[in-house]
Chain A
Amino acid sequence: DSGVTQTPKHLITATGQRVTLRCSPRSGDLSVYWYQQSLDQGLQFLIQYYNGEERAKGNILERFSAQQFPDLHSELNLSSLELGDSALYFCASSVFGDRRETQYFGPGTRLLVL
């Protein structure tokens, strides 16, 4: 158990819908990362937050957005969902968001878009 929690574990929804995935980092960690893992694309970095501020942006679609709240939990919002958005979404956290730090991954949220 990494100490990173994600909810929900599974989510099934329809195309065109909007969902919110939630992540609570390890106690004391200030930085949160979001990743998407699909069968055809592999693991992709989406976005990083540090202490409420966006720090780095990867391959995140415009239909997706994220934020980190004052209590340091983070939410990833996915809107206008398409079939291709079906994937496992991971959240990871680290203390300072520095490249030299280990990131600890949560168990993931499996999203299925029908």
Chain B
Amino acid sequence: EDKVVQSPLSLVVHEGDTVTLNCSYEVTNFRSLLWYKQEKKAPTFLFMLTSSGIEKKSGRLSSILDKKELFSILNITATQTGDSAIYLCAVSWDNYGQNFVFGPGTRLSVLP
């Protein structure tokens, strides 16, 4: 059965801390791994990773994929209260379209 596991499920830190969120997966015919940030409502896209070992960065956020060990990490440095959200990891497979399975998410709370 295809599945995506995220850890931790919940994390509380203080502003300025650095956090690492984990996502591991077991899917057949892996195509890509995606990270989303979900605040109050709709998820917003952060990163899409398809190749191992290539770090993607956007400001204080970065992510990397290890296709051999079947996991990805999302790093957030110098956290701010605005980083408080649920971070979702999703893995796609499918030769043609984009069939996805999502992990349960990590709820990050950044305290002032």
Interface of A toward B, CB cutoff 8 Å: 2, 33, 42-45, 48, 50, 55-58, 88, 90, 97-100, 102-108
Contact = CB atoms under 8 A, between A and B. Distances in A.
A43 B88 contact: yes
B96 A45 contact: no
Contacts of A57: 99
B23 to A, nearest CB: 13
Chain A interface secondary structure, helix, strand, loop or mixed? strand
A2 B42 contact: yes
Nearest to B50: A100
A98 B101 CA distance: 16
A42 B105 contact: yes
B31 A42 contact: no
Given A56-B94, A107-B42, A45 B48 contact: no
Given A42-B103, A100-B48, A105 B97 contact: no
26 contacts: A2-B44, A42-B103, A42-B104, A42-B105, A43-B43, A43-B88, A43-B90, A44-B102, A45-B98, A48-B98, A55-B96, A56-B96, A56-B99, A58-B99, A88-B41, A90-B42, A90-B43, A99-B97, A100-B48, A102-B48, A105-B42, A105-B43, A105-B44, A106-B42, A107-B41, A108-B42
A97 B98 contact: yes
Contacts of B42: 2, 90, 105-108
